Amino acid sequence: MKIAVIAAMSEELAPLRNFFPSTMVWRRGKTIIEEVHANLYLVESGIGKTNAAAMSAWLCEKIKPDLIINTGTTGAFQSDIPLGSVIYSPTFLYSDVDATGFGYKVGQVPQMPAQYPVDEALLQKTATILKQAEIDAREGLIVTSDSFMSDLSAIATIRQKFPTIVASDMESAAIAQVAHFYQIPVLNIRGVSDHVGQEAPETFEATLELAANNAFASVKVLLDAWG
């Protein structure tokens, strides 16, 4: 199985780079694609939906992976989730897309699916592998926005629109939308770097390394099982 592991920032990809020696195969702007071997690629996408989508299109066209794993950090919407915890999402959707005036659902890009669910069999395999490895990871809804979640009014709006939300990131739904065109499955496995709110930026800086390392531990277990 050919797998591509994507993280937005060098700090998020660092644990994988430190473990897997790799060779750069493509670089454009903030995007770097590295080959570990013929069946494993590491990708630094750059931050945000546009960087993630542009990178995903090139990756799907040129590398043609069988599976994409998006990893890195995430901001938790629930204060009882410990920093450094690992969350994997059962589906992908946007929290900052609203075309409801035309009859679309909140988070749905016009003329596109309302969301991009992970195949149930793949989700179950992921849960089983992580549990067998005694990795403390939980399933929960991670939504995607172009905003870092520190503004209280924006956070309150998102909570109202998505009552089951667990966390937020800035790339995963864009990756899933592009991968949908190519019928390539995507997993999103992230470490909690902060709790959303006014203190989130400072907490993120302090917890980034812990969250990235814990996410890497989960991804490594999956790579060992599928690589």
Distances (CA, A) of 67 to 59, 188, 200: 11, 11, 31
Residues with active-site annotation: 12, 194
